[in-house]
Structure formats: structure tokens, C-alpha cells
Amino acid sequence: MARKVSAIPSSGQQTPQNVDQVHPDPPERILARLRPHGRVLLLPSLVLVAVAGVAGYLGGVLEESWQVSALYGAAALVVVLFCLVPLLAWLGHRYVVTTRRLVLRRGLLVRVRQELLHSRGYDVSVTRGPLQSVFRSGDVRINTGLEAPVVLRDVPNADLVLRALQDLMEASGNPMASRRQQYESRPGAAPDETQAFGER
């Protein structure tokens, strides 16, 4: 009676399960944490210095206690409105770039979180004004084609952020990134020009 012998893989062969164990998906890594450019805090800082100087000077000149109390109350109100509120608004905008996605967080008390996967593809472009050009910052505009565009406002090193997002899309192997790569490989195409790719 014939016996049925099953094939046993040798030590040099790998079954599909072994392949998955040897080459697992790489873990997600954080590449950059971004906020809007810090120059937006320049004016609040100057206001804080000016209010402190004026309040300190007038506090020693005024004789009536109610006048001093009113002065300090007004100074505190100005500091809250023109220094603390802009600072909290700046701290409330955070952008995190990982190897798999772009995460946008807004707000401190009421937090809003939005994620964009690099594998799904999106159009990326940079716009900047004269002042942003001086500080090498800019608005990174991301259009997924499904909803309103997402804008990373006034991020530092906007061109570097643009190239990083494009490279991450290429690494994810989506069709939109392939079309952008074909566009750049055309004869006469400038390698450093800023374009919005994936448009029809």
C-alpha cells in the first residue's frame, strides 16, 4: 500500500508565514513635529514688554489706590487679550509628519484631529507672501480631491516640508506620486520648481 508523504520545507526555504515573520511591516515613526512660524509671537512679546514698563512706571506715579488697582487691572486685561490668547492659539496648532500619515491637531480645550494617509495620495503645493519669503516659511496646501483642501499655515521651511511629503507619497507607491515622478522625469522639467501634482 502506497504511503503519501508530505513535503517538508528545508531549512533554506521559507513558507508564507515565515516570510511575514521575517519581513514585518516597519513600525510607524515620527519624522517631524511642526507649528506655525514663531514670528507670530513677536508682536505679543513687544506688547508684554511695553505693558510691563508702562504699568511699572505709572504704578509708582499714581497716588490713589483705586487708580493703581484700575491700572493693574487694565494691564492684566491687555496682557490676556494681546499676549496670552495669541500664545494659546499658536500652541493649539500642531502638525505631525510620520512615515504613514500626516496628523493635524487644532485647539486646546476643544481639540480637533485630522489625519491624511500618504498611501491615499494628495496634491501638494506651497504659497508664500513677501514676508514669508524672507523667513523661508509658507502655506503648504494639501488637496485630497475629496473634501476641502487642508492648509498647513505659515510652517517653517515650507519647501522642505513639501519635498518630504512628496517623498513619502512616492514611498507609499500610490498612482498620484507615480504621475508626479513621470512629470519630473520629462526632458526640460526643472527639478526644484514648486508644482501641484495630480491635477487633471
CA-closest candidate to residue 32, choices 136, 165, 128, 148 = 165
Q: What is the pLDDT of residue 172?
A: 79
Q: Is the model's pLDDT at 20 over the cut of 70?
A: no
Q: What is the pLDDT of residue 199?
A: 41
> Higher pLDDT residue, 57 or 1?
57
- pLDDT level of residue 191 (50, 70, 90 thresholds): very low
Q: Which three cell numbers stand for residue 106?
A: 487644532
* Mean pLDDT, the chain, integer: 80
> Higher pLDDT residue, 135 or 200?
135
Q: What is the pLDDT of residue 7?
A: 46
Q: Which helix (H) or strand (E) holds 46?
A: helix 42-61
